[in-house]
Amino acid sequence: MDRRANLTKWFATATAIGMFIVLLMGARVTATGSADGCGNDWPLCNGSWLPADTYESLTEYSHRFVTGIEGMLVLGTTLLAWPMRRKHPSFILLVPAMAGTLVLQSLMGAAAVKWPTSAKVMATHFGISLVCLASAALLARVLYLDEHTDDDRLRRHHAVPNNYRLFAAATIVVSVIVAYAGAYVRHTGAELACTSWPTCNGEVIPSFTGLEGIQTWHRLSALVISVMLVILLAWSFKLRMERQDLFVLSVLAMTLVLVQSAIGGIVVYSGLQLLATLAHAGVMAMLFVVLCEVTRSVWPERVHQVETRSQPSIAAQPTGD
């Protein structure tokens, strides 16, 4: 790996780690009710460049500060990775997704401070953060694979059924719905609308209206993604001889969703204990990244294939006497 690629790898890794921290800090702001810690000022904090000496102000200000550092990391990764898009065609999607979503979520955060914002908009903010995190993580993943071997591209020659690709992509869509529903639960204050788990206030079939309904729909969406991951695991098990990587990723995804479900129960029974709440958001983020990697690793890089076909093979070239 040349110097530029190595530098890009480290920038992408730092960006992914930084985005994960930003995501957790954002969840902390919401969980502790610190969204108004800087008042209605942005980028200032209560009319000053420094926060007030209160927990809420320090929490909100630290989130903004780390987001600013993350913005510089994203800029650096973008400038380094974009010229590498011919060698790594997936960068054509990943780089704009990473940079664009960070800008978008920053603008949404600023708008939420300046003007009243609905719970639906704030829940979308979390989903956008997941896309930024996954884009940076996959950038780093591609470069790490390229550093060691060409196994990533060799695996793509072991084609998986097209239905598997579509199903893997569908798990990403459903995981976004689950993440949105969870964020919507937080921003509407419906976390403890159901004081028992997995039932809701002791009812197997709870109400689908009001705060209970919001919590119920979140739990149902979590059940749907769990069933889909069981199917993905069984399917990947059948393909394990040719695509062991898919089997490993599906096992990891299944493990994460089980851990996520257990943490969800802890969140309820602990009365929204902060560490449990942050862990719930963090595991969801990791699950989303894993599912994105499953889809990336089975989707053919068509640009690369076209370029490969356009180059004459050695066997086809005329040989001199």
pLDDT in tens, 70-123: 999 999 999 999 999 988 888 999 999 999 998 888 888 777 777 666 778 888
Measured CA to CA, the distance from residue 287 to residue 289 in angstroms comes to 5
Task: Please name every residue paired with 45 in a beta bridge, in sequence order, or none if there are none.
Answer: 48
Rg for the chain (alpha carbons), in Å? 22
- Among 88, 117, 148, give the residue marking a domain's end: 148
Closest of 64, 18, 23, 63 to residue 287, by C-alpha: 23
The model carries a pTM of 0.85
Please tell me which residue, 146 or 289, carries the higher pLDDT value. 289
- The SS3 assignment for 83 reads helix
Q: Is the pLDDT of residue 157 over 60?
A: no
pLDDT in tens, 185-235: 988 888 888 888 778 877 877 777 888 888 889 999 999 999 999 999 999
| Whether 58 and 42 share a structural domain | yes
Same domain, yes or no: 143 and 157: no
Residue 319: inside a domain: no
Name residue 200's beta-bridge partners: 203
Estimate to the nearest angstrom the gap between the alpha carbon of 300 and the chain centroid: 21
CA 29 remoteness from chain centre: 18
Runs of H (alpha helix) within the chain: 3-31, 55-81, 91-114, 119-148, 151-156, 162-187, 210-238, 244-269, 274-298, 302-310
The residues, any chain, with a CB within 8 Å of residue 199's CB and separated by 6 or more, are: 206
H or E element that contains 197: none
pLDDT at 207: 75
**Residue 30 falls within a domain, yes or no?**
yes
Residue 59: pLDDT band with limits 50, 70, 90: very high
For residue 246, name the pLDDT band (cuts at 50, 70, 90). Answer: very high
Residues annotated as part of the active site: 60
Structure tokens at 106: 């920053």
Res. 129: pLDDT tops 50? yes
pLDDT digits (tens, 9 = 90+) for 296-309: 988 876 544 434 44
> Based on the domain organization, do 21 and 137 belong to the same domain?
yes
Enter the DSSP assignment of 102: H
How far is 37 from 25, CA to CA, in rounded Å?
14
DSSP secondary structure letter of residue 200: B
Residue 103 and residue 75 share a domain? yes
State which residues form the domain around 173.
Answer: 152-301
129, 22: one domain: yes
Beta-carbon count within 10 A of 65 CB: 13
313 located within any domain: no
> Per-residue confidence at 310, pLDDT binned at 50, 70, 90?
very low
State the average pLDDT over residues 260-270. Answer: 89
Which residues make Cβ contacts (< 8 Å) with residue 144, sequence separation at least 6? 9
List C-alpha distances in Å: 189 to 106, 139, 169, 214: 23, 35, 31, 10
- Residue 169 in domain: yes
